[in-house]
């Protein structure tokens, strides 16, 4: 196991595997590869990837003995030392977004903060390749890495009580999409008509950690056509 990875005991049934303390696309790629490997080798562990760590949660009944943490550290360490590679099942997703107007009420403010015009903001937002670093905040909410540094803007000083479902937003150096109507402080630049989370579906979340994502600009007419095809 690489010496830079550390185990941290969190609770009786939880260990954290830490890769670092930064938000970094390379570090997160290690997190995703490790998660894929551990899920394959130790399916009895629940692995929860985040920016630079993986939470391992376990059922103590599966690890009898006086020192379950030591057993799991040894098993996880051995799985990570194997040289064979694990190919993570990663999706490539293209997310249609209607930028600006009522769909992205903060687009003009973001453009002004970045000293760019709104078309350039859209062009840069759609030009980048993103990775889903983790899901959190709400079911199906993807934290995306890969935002053009020029588009990094501070969160709003007056968070909204109700951000519409599908809103594509920028918060600091990250971009994300609100799956449901939620309170939120990120800057809203557009909206996707896709449904991100449906708990009754076989695959409830459109996104999974590690997925590759691109945004594609659509107009209002296309937004309504797609929204009609993807009813909430």
Partner 1 sequence: MNVTVIKPGLLSSLQDAGRPGHAALGVGRTGAMDPSAWQLANALVGNAGGEAAIECTLTGPSLRFEQAAVIALTGAPITARVGEHSMPMWTTCHLPAGSVLHLGGMASGCRSYLAVRGGFHVEALLGSRSSDLHARIGYAHGRALCSGDVLPIGATAPLPGSPAGNDVQPLGWSLDPQPWFDFAQRPLALLRGSHWAQLDTASQQLLFGGNFSLSKDSNRTASRLDGHTLKLRAPLELISEAALPGTVQLPPSGQPIALLAEAPVTGGYPRIGQIAAVDLPGLAQRRPGNTVCFRETTLDEALMRLAARRQRLTRLLGTIAQRLEHR
List interacting residues with partner 1 (CB under 8 A).
8-14, 16, 21-23, 35, 46-53, 55, 57, 60, 66, 68-69, 134-141, 143, 180, 197, 199-200, 204-205, 208-209
Angle of CA points 43, 4, 50, to nearest 5°: 50
DSSP bridge partners of 35 = none
Q: Centre a 10 Å sphere on the Cβ of residue 50 and count the other Cβ atoms it contains.
A: 20
Q: How many helices (H) and strands (E) does the chain have?
A: 5, 13
Task: Name the token pair of 60.
Answer: 């103590």
Task: Name the strand (E) or helix (H) holding 53.
Answer: strand 53-57
Q: Minimum CB separation from partner 1 for residue 4, in Å?
A: 16
The contacts of residue 40 (CB under 8 Å, 6+ apart) are: 86
* Residue 68: DSSP 8-state: H
Nearer to partner 1, 66 or 158 (CB): 66
The Cα–Cα gap between 173 and 192 comes to 20
Nearer to partner 1, 51 or 186 (CB): 51
The number of C-alpha atoms within 13 Å of 143 and in the hemisphere containing its C-beta is 18
Give the side-chain half-sphere CA count within 13 A for 172. 5
Retrieve residue 90's tokens. Answer: 């990663």
Residue 99 or 143: which CB sits closer to partner 1? 143
Q: Phi first, then psi: give them for residue 188, nearest 5 degrees.
A: -90, 120
Nearer to partner 1, 124 or 155 (CB): 155
Least Å distance, CB 13 to partner 1, is: 7
């Amino acid at each position: 196991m690489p010496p830079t990875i550390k185990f941290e005991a969190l609770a009786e049934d939880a260990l954290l595997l830490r890769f670092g303390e930064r938000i970094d696309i390379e570090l997160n790629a290690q997190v995703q590869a490790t998660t894929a490997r551990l899920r394959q080798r130790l399916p009895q562990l629940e692995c929860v990837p985040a920016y630079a760590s993986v939470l391992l949660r376990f059922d103590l009944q599966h690890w009898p003995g006086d020192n379950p943490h030591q057993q799991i550290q040894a098993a996880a360490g051995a799985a990570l030392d194997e040289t064979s590679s694990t190919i993570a099942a990663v999706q490539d997703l293209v997310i249609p977004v209607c930028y600006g107007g009522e769909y992205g009420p903060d687009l003009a403010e973001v453009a002004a903060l970045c000293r760019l015009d709104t078309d350039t903001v859209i062009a840069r937002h759609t030009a980048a390749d993103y990775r889903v670093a983790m899901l959190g905040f709400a079911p199906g909410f993807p934290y995306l890495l890969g935002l053009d540094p020029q588009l990094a803007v501070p969160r709003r000083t007056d968070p909204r009580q109700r951000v519409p479902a599908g809103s594509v937003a920028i918060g600091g150096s990250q971009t994300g999409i609100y799956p449901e109507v939620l309170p939120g402080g990120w800057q809203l630049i557009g909206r996707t008509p896709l449904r991100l989370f449906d708990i009754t579906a076989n695959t409830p979340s459109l996104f999974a950690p590690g997925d590759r994502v691109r945004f594609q600009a659509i107009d209002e007419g296309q937004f309504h056509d797609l929204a009609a095809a993807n009813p909430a």
